[in-house]
Amino acid sequence: MFSYLRERFTSHLRERSRRRARLVSKDGRCNIEFGNVEQSRFVFLIDIWTTILDLRWRYKMTIFISAFLGSWFLFGLLWYVVAYIHKDLPEFNPSINHTPCVENINGLTSAFLFSLETQVTIGYGFRCVTEQCATAIFLLIFQSILGVIINSFMCGAILAKISRSKNRAKTITFSKNAVISKRGGKLCLLIRVANLRKSLLIGSHIYGKMLKTTITPEGETIILDQVNIEFVVDAGNENLFFISPLTIYHIIDKNSPFFHMAAETLLQQDFELVVFLDGTVEATSATCQVRTSYIPEEVLWGYRFAPIVSKTKEGKYRVDFQNFSKTVAVETPHCAFCLYNEKEAKAKEKKGYDNPGFVLSEVNETSDTKM
């Protein structure tokens, strides 16, 4: 009993670790890290715009708040210094005829409030700059210009983050599993993809990459070696009319890396199939890429997808996403090699080939009739 449980637990851990070893997750995120990079992180500051856009929301909002609070407090200190140098503060007991650089700055708190009012152009009117100090006028101009730059950069970064086509890719979904079955008399790998929005992706293109570890004839081991996987649709794989879910398929022929696989050996293979969908968003004209991946446990041999498109009595077409990833078992050859051998055997039967092993032997007849 304990040996059985230990074996099941070990197989579960092995399967779990194998499922985690994937380069691309189901939602398209890449599981990779860089180590011992010789270039310094200063190169990321040179491309500050892309660095800000790639940050997560919590870091972006922290920078957004810190930029405004920091600039308000910094200029608040400068306004306090101006008032201190000009002796406008109450502790200097200015005379009645004294004209301050900034009206009603009585300390650091009021200087901070004036800095805030200046940069966000609130302008309550209670505090204002006078013509007494050229330094105060220059500081006012400098803070106004810098405030516009900070507002433009931070607000533009947030707007660009929201409008990135990466978010549009979340409304494109792939089936949970890929299936292998016959389609049009050929053995094919099929994947279903759907657009959850009614707006189209213009110029869509679907392709795939198989990632596996290979050993070259020279003995070099290549991890994550990439092999092209061509996917097609009945209407062609270019400029798809992506208004309803599509079933894309890869023909398993002699040039396919799946040709030497069989239903019994599929789970023993070590590969990852990454599928890409490139297109242009109709609303923003921005390009986006959707990707997902499949490991051997997620490829079902001998299944096909259940139909999901139907026509209602009102004449509308209805897509039932409840059956989007549902599969149905069908009769399928257990390997591509067997399917092609079966076709060749049937073709030879129709042509009526002679048996090459047949040998005609001559027999000499003797006559018993005597003359």
Give the CA dihedral 122, 125, 127, 131, nearest 10 degrees: 110
Res 170: pLDDT: 79
| Mean pLDDT calculated for residue range 143-148 | 93
The span from the CA of 354 to the CA of 363, in Å, is 22
Structure confidence by residue, pLDDT tens digits, 236-293: 555 677 778 888 899 998 888 898 888 888 888 888 999 998 888 877 778 888 899 9
Res 114: pLDDT: 92
Token output for 297: 């446990």
Does pLDDT of 342 surpass 70? Answer: no
Using pLDDT thresholds of 50, 70 and 90, give the confidence band for residue 16. Answer: low
Q: Could you tell me which residue, 290 or 126, shows the higher pLDDT?
A: 290
Using pLDDT thresholds of 50, 70 and 90, give the confidence band for residue 370. Answer: very low
Domains belonging to the chain, first-starting first, are: 48-163 (1.10.287.70), 168-348 (2.60.40.1400)
Burial environment of residue 255 by CB neighbours within 10 A (0 to 12, 13 to 18, 19 or more): exposed
Does pLDDT of 220 surpass 60? Answer: yes
Q: How many CA atoms lie within 13 A of 145 on its CB side?
A: 5
Res 214: pLDDT: 83
Using pLDDT thresholds of 50, 70 and 90, give the confidence band for residue 235. Answer: low
Give the CA dihedral 65, 68, 69, 72, nearest 10 degrees: -170
| Mean pLDDT calculated for residue range 14-32 | 69
Does pLDDT of 139 surpass 90? Answer: yes
Using pLDDT thresholds of 50, 70 and 90, give the confidence band for residue 1. Answer: low
Res 238: pLDDT: 59
Structure confidence by residue, pLDDT tens digits, 55-100: 888 998 999 999 999 999 999 999 999 999 999 898 888 888 888 9
Structure confidence by residue, pLDDT tens digits, 149-170: 999 998 898 888 887 777 777 7
Q: Residue 288: name the closest of 165, 371, 187, 113 by CA.
A: 165
| Mean pLDDT calculated for residue range 45-59 | 84
**Percent of the chain residues past pLDDT 90, beyond the cut:** 26
For residue 274, CA distances in Å to 1, 21, 137, 174, 305 come to: 40, 13, 61, 11, 19
| Amino acid at site 100 | P
Res 371: pLDDT: 43
Contact 274, 211 (CB under 8 A): yes
| Amino acid at site 188 | C
The rounded mean pLDDT for the chain is 82
Query: Which of the residue ranges 4-18, 130-144, 205-219 would you say has the lowest mean pLDDT?
Result: 4-18
